[in-house]
Structure 1
Amino acid sequence: MIAIHNSKSGFHPAWIAYCQEQGIPFKLVNCLDDDIIGQLKDVRALLWHHSHMLPKDLIAAKPILAALSHQGFPVFPDCRTNWHFDDKLAQKYLLESLELPMVKTFAFYDPKDALSWARQTKYPTVHKLKTGSGSSQVRLVGNYHGAKKIILKSFGKGFSNYAPFNSLKERIYQFKNGHAPWMSIVKGLLRFVHYPEYATVQGRERGYVLFQEFVPNNPSDIRVIVIGNKAFAITRWVRKDDFRASGSGHFSHDPDLIPLSCLESAFKANQKLKGQCIAFDFVMDEKQTPRIIEISYGFSPEAFRHCPGHWDQHLHWQEGRFVPEHWMVEALLKDLVVTGASDPK
């Protein structure tokens, strides 16, 4: 028997439906219960799609999953898949240590070092916080003056994990493009008074500054998701008069738009990362070589429901719709057999 966190969001509904369809024994648990470790004594594995947008998940998910992994208990996501989630500093050091083809990323923990770098670097450059998704905390910095202002703030009062003005702009953008209801704008206005709880839990980002090289001439980025020996991908177009693709809401499922070099790079990268499920965001450099911007284990499954097929590890196209959450369950069950944790029963 396997355990699944009892939630109606993320991957959980598809996991539950798949187990019901396939006759896989499972039980629903609340991973935030005080006695969750005890509740797992009669099961062989746990699936939990924790989110960086849920305050309780932010506090508890990684410690609980790490504790279970420490004793060899199979979980999804496991440590290799999960420890760097929503942490761009962690991803910088991980990708560099594995010598993976990433966009150059610079991290500083002293304002003097950061200012020295800013005086001689090439502009524009991109400023990011180590947390955040959907390009919400990503800024294009055009000159030294702008970089200096960011650096001084990073080592002063710091940055909130939630920027209400940027969020309101994003909500208006999504509304105009038909991706959000008008009530979303109202909620955005209320957020100027009441910040979301996750931002309060995380506190302000300070004591470091993170910049990433700007790679020009990319009308889109490519998101490739690797699960085991399968990969699927979409093209995400950048916003009008902007450089950001993540969160734009404009994407294509056309497989002919996906460079095979991105797929090859994703498979090779995951051979080193050994992740259960890794989403790679790529841009192409001046030599049309794929460069990794960020990685994540989590993604919005709805954005990929209309993918017409996937690629195998040999880059052969496999026609046919699929549900990637099913592959996650299958991989975990396979891991139970390979590790000798016994079959679910």
Structure 2
Amino acid sequence: MKIAVHHRKGSFSDRWIEYLEEKNIPYVILNAFDNDIIGQVKENKVTHFMWHFNQNYYEDMLHAKTLFRSLKQIGIETFPEEDAYWHFDDKVAQKYLLEALGVPLVKADVFYHRKEAEEYIENTSFPKVFKLKGGAGSINVKLIKTKSQARKIINQAFGCGFNAFDSWTVFTDTIERFWRQKTVHNFLRVVKWGFKGIFVDKQYKVFPKQRNYVYFQEFIPGLTYDIRLIVIGDKCYYLKRNTRDNDFRASGSGMLEFAPGKFNLESVSIAFKTAQQLNMVCVAYDFIFDSGDNPLMVEISYGFQPYVYDRCLGFYDKSLSWNESGVNLEYEIVNSFLNKFP
């Protein structure tokens, strides 16, 4: 066994490398973007390749899936595995996948032609939640309250399209967070994202426009939070995310709670069952709850922001019992990955 790691500081790979060194597991750091990466993999007799690729980097999204599919052809196991990466950062793909699995989820409708989209808005009720396929932290999520607003969305979707990165939303969200939590860290975020909000970072400019489809999701009124559940192996980790003031969005709010309060534990059972169906080493779910307290899945991902979850207080097991413990999700990922693909 020999593990190749594509390392980017501040990603999962920081602790992956620590784990491999602690366990004396042979590894090599390789640059996935090297022209001769396949040759390097063969030369180093690599058996596993790990890369925490990120939806905010266009080059990652352009290259990672192609490389990993090629490596799989020569018997090299990858993290994330194909079952995890083919639908990564693609809410439309996840809609079809979760519907196929029969998972309880928030109803979503997708249209690829203007005529069908226009007929839909004439016969549906509002408000609806409009989303683009990609994007984290609610940056590409808008509440559409009227048919008139929906028509404008459709005209843009089947016209000039949408920028893949809504820099203004990121900027205004960061300002709101600063005024709510006046810290040096948040002030620096304001400066950073203020610059990005005015002069969009070059890494986002290269993403193609989103056009020729429109995605509407049912609006669940009265939400004050959602929960993030992360299943790795036989453990399910918990995080509560409160909504912004006078807003329905919880993702990206920064208003987090780590102690598991009262919530419908059926969501944990669904998370474990779905992880088995998805055949993923690591899967993060966003859940909301309807007026009857029924859990509804919103979206899934193999990846998430590192270090945030260090503040988690433990995990649920498959019997739905809570276990207090320290948390290091990156270590859990490597351990689960190597156990699944020894």
Q: Does the residue aligned with 2:97 lie in a helix, a strand or coil?
A: helix
TM-score normalised per structure 2: 0.94
Q: Equivalent residue for 1:33?
A: 34
The answer to whether structure 1 residue 209 and structure 2 residue 214 are counterparts is yes
Deviation at 1:243, TM superposition (A): 0.3
C-alpha separation between the residues in 2 aligned to 1:192 and 1:260? 39
1:1-345 map, 5 Å: 1-41=2-42, 42-176=45-179, 177-178=181-182, 180-191=185-196, 194-337=199-342
Give CA-to-partner distance per residue, 1:213-244, whole Å, 9 cap, x none. Answer: 01112210011001121110111000001000
Deviation at 1:166, TM superposition (A): 1.6
Deviation at 1:27, TM superposition (A): 1.1
Give CA-to-partner distance per residue, 1:99-129, whole Å, 9 cap, x none. Answer: 1111001100111111111112121110000
Give CA-to-partner distance per residue, 1:30-80, whole Å, 9 cap, x none. Answer: 111111112222121011100011232121111111222244321100010
Contact 2:10 2:306 in 1 (8 A): no
C-alpha separation between the residues in 1 aligned to 2:89 and 2:248? 21
Q: Does the residue aligned with 1:266 lie in a helix, a strand or coil?
A: helix
Q: Equivalent residue for 1:343?
A: none
Deviation at 1:192, TM superposition (A): 5.1
Q: Does the residue aligned with 1:305 lie in a helix, a strand or coil?
A: helix
* Larger CA deviation: 325-334 vs 62-71: 62-71
Rate the CA distance shift 1:125–1:6 in 2: closer, same or farther, 3 A.
same
TM-score normalised per structure 1: 0.93
Contact 2:264 2:293 in 1 (8 A): no
Contact 1:162 1:196 in 2 (8 A): no
C-alpha separation between the residues in 2 aligned to 1:12 and 1:149? 42
Contact 1:235 1:257 in 2 (8 A): no
Rate the CA distance shift 1:300–1:187 in 2: closer, same or farther, 3 A.
closer
C-alpha separation between the residues in 1 aligned to 2:164 and 2:201? 9
Aligned partner of 1:54: which letter?
Answer: Y
Contact 1:135 1:244 in 2 (8 A): yes
Q: Does the residue aligned with 1:161 lie in a helix, a strand or coil?
A: coil
Aligned partner of 1:33: which letter?
Answer: D
Deviation at 1:163, TM superposition (A): 2.3
Deviation at 1:86, TM superposition (A): 0.5
C-alpha separation between the residues in 1 aligned to 2:327 and 2:188? 33
Contact 1:228 1:331 in 2 (8 A): yes
Contact 1:239 1:245 in 2 (8 A): yes
Contact 1:238 1:246 in 2 (8 A): yes
Q: Equivalent residue for 1:342?
A: none
- Unaligned stretches of 5+ residues in structure 2: none
Matched residues, percent identical?
38
Aligned partner of 1:262: which letter?
Answer: S
Aligned partner of 1:287: which letter?
Answer: G
Contact 1:281 1:292 in 2 (8 A): yes
Q: Does the residue aligned with 1:156 lie in a helix, a strand or coil?
A: coil
C-alpha separation between the residues in 1 aligned to 2:102 and 2:75? 28
RMSD: 1.6
Deviation at 1:263, TM superposition (A): 0.5
Aligned partner of 1:139: which letter?
Answer: K
Deviation at 1:160, TM superposition (A): 0.5
Contact 2:170 2:197 in 1 (8 A): no
C-alpha separation between the residues in 2 aligned to 1:258 and 1:77? 30
Rate the CA distance shift 1:256–1:78 in 2: closer, same or farther, 3 A.
same
* Larger CA deviation: 18-27 vs 105-114: 18-27
Deviation at 1:183, TM superposition (A): 4.1
Deviation at 1:200, TM superposition (A): 2.3
Q: Does the residue aligned with 1:256 lie in a helix, a strand or coil?
A: coil
C-alpha separation between the residues in 2 aligned to 1:258 and 1:15? 32
C-alpha separation between the residues in 2 aligned to 1:12 and 1:174? 28
Contact 1:305 1:323 in 2 (8 A): yes
Contact 1:235 1:258 in 2 (8 A): no
